[in-house]
Amino acid sequence: MALRENFPNEPVKITLPRIYDPRGSLTVVEEQNQIPFDIARVYWIYDVPGGEERGAHSHRKLQQLMMAVSGSLDIEVTDGFTTKVFTLNKPFEGLYLPPGIWRRMFNFSSGSCLLSIVSLPYDEKEYIRDYDEFIENARKRGPIITQE
Ligand code: T46
């Protein structure tokens, strides 16, 4: 069965392949192998001043994998019902986010770099940046995040 059919439809941390070598480690992400979507775009966030936050939006259809390829940061995610905080601090760990998740990134360490691999080209119309609109959509749709 294809990875996309088996993959959890909620925010989940995944451990990526780590290829050890005396020369250093290498981590790889391939579409339909570690992630359940085809890669349309890659961007990275760096030089974040101490105390700054980013995000505060959700996506209508976009799926993504985020990795702290250096340093660390926290990501708070909510589906409008349940809120969780994930810490990214290893270059071989990623956080998968399906559509419909409001996210906020904070606690960026000095020198951190947040790499994001996403399923769609950039399109501002694909964002929900208004929290009230997000909550209205969430109420119509129902929960995404499994409560532990
Ligand atoms: C997300 C987190 C992790 C572009 O022109 N092209 C792009 O591909 C992106 C991602 C952004 N932009 C422009 C749009 C804004 O004028 O760059 C500016 C900053 O974007 P934004 O305020 O959305 O940045 P963040 O850090 O709040 O969010 C970004 C992504 O937009 C978002 O999808 O999940 O990083």
What is the distance of C-alpha 111 from the center of its chain? 19
Provide block-wise average pLDDT over 10 residues at a time, the chain (148 residues). 79 97 97 92 98 98 98 98 98 98 98 98 98 98 91
Question: Is the pTM for the entire model greater than 0.75?
Answer: yes
The domain ranges of the chain are: 13-141
- CATH 2.60.120.10 correct for 13-141: yes
Q: Is the CB of 44 under 6 A from ligand 1?
A: no
Q: Is the CB of 82 under 6 A from ligand 1?
A: no
* Active site (annotated) includes residue 57: yes
Nearest to 64 by CA among 14, 113, 111: 14
Coil, helix or strand at residue 78:
strand
C-alpha distances out from residue 50 to 54, 73, 88, 127, Å: 12, 11, 17, 26
Q: Is the CB of 45 under 6 A from ligand 1?
A: yes
| Ligand 1 centroid, distance to 105 Cα (angstroms) | 12
Per-residue model confidence (pLDDT) at position 2: 66
Catalytic residue of the set 54, 57, 90, 104: 57
